[in-house]
Amino acid sequence: MTLHMQKALFLDRDGVVNKDKDYVHRIKDFEFQEGIFDLCRMANHQGYLIFIITNQAGIARGYYSERDFILLTKWMLNDFRREGCFVSKVYYCPYHPEYGNEKYKRVSAFRKPAPGMILKAAKRFEVDLASSLLVGDQETDIEAGINAGIGKNFLLYNPEKKKQSMDSRAIGIKSLQEVVSFLALENKIES
């Protein structure tokens, strides 16, 4: 890692930052995942930039608008700040290859499993992807991390997801606290 390159923590939104309740787009339905603030405070303390990368097919499907998403995102980021966490940027993909109107129905390099959102963050913020981490709750999250060259990819197990399977290239976890413990151990090793 060169001196100007930074490490980053990439987080999926639905299922990692908040509990996945299918197309969450209203504040009243948004429930932060247990341990998310502890994880982000620890990552910030250790010099990680934090990025949220999220597919938002609900926009393409017409379930909610980009404006709805942006309003919820501003509210979410305010809660992160109140909790002493700094998120560098939220990247989202409103496109879907099969659903949506002409504006949103298309293949996009930003829709996970494609690594577009990660690569855009890496370029803009000079991120060393090999020294970075990703936490997702779906195989598409892990594939995006691997496709981008992220060093450690964590797959958060969600017992409510019927189709979730463990990607052998991911580090399986049952809670965000396991990533906090990983960061604490990494910090001891570097000290």
Q: Which two tokens stand for residue 93?
A: 């993909």
12 noted as active-site residue: yes
Angle, nearest 10°, between helix axes 116-125 and 139-148? Answer: 40
For residue 172, the tally of other CB atoms under 10 A from its CB is 12
Token pair 């060169």: residue = 2
- Name 171's bridge partners: 154
Q: Pick from 4, 40, 34: which is nearest to 125 by CA?
A: 4
Q: Where are the alpha helices (DSSP H) in 26-167?
A: 36-45, 57-60, 66-82, 116-125, 139-148
Q: Which two tokens stand for residue 172?
A: 């399986």
137 noted as active-site residue: no
Active-site residue among 12, 20, 141, 167?
12
Residues assigned a catalytic role: 12, 14
